[in-house]
């Protein structure tokens, strides 16, 4: 994963986008020497969203099996899932 400061990122935005989109790189952009954002390709973003959905489903299943019956809103609230 590459790291670049914000000033450099501004001047190299096209290059950064190409690295993320075509080379699959994740680029961390720092603000005042602190990581602020990550740029990644859209396909990678969608893959991460799918993984997050799978994880949420597994956590939901775990709560539903381990505790007594809950309504959907209660379970979602316990797992910090928006309905």
What is the residue extent of each domain of the chain?
2-40, 43-78
Buried b / exposed e over 27-63, threshold 16 CB at 10 Å, is: bbbbeeeeeeeebbbeebeeeeeeeeeeeeeeebeee
Q: Is the pLDDT of residue 60 over 80?
A: no
- Looking at per-residue confidence, does 17 or 57 come out higher? 17
Res. 22: pLDDT tops 90: yes
What pLDDT shows up at residue 18? 96
pLDDT tens-digit readout, 25-59: 999 999 999 999 999 999 999 999 999 889 888 87
Assign domain 2-40 to a CATH class: alpha beta
């Amino acid at each position: 994963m590459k790291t670049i400061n914000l000033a450099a990122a501004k001047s190299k935005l096209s290059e950064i986008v190409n690295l993320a989109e075509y080379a699959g790189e994740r680029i961390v952009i720092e603000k005042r020497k602190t990581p602020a954002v990550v740029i990644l390709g859209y396909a990678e973003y969608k893959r991460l969203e799918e993984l997050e959905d799978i994880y949420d489903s597994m956590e939901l299943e775990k709560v539903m099996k381990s505790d007594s019956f809950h309504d959907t809103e209660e379970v979602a609230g316990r797992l910090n899932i928006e309905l």
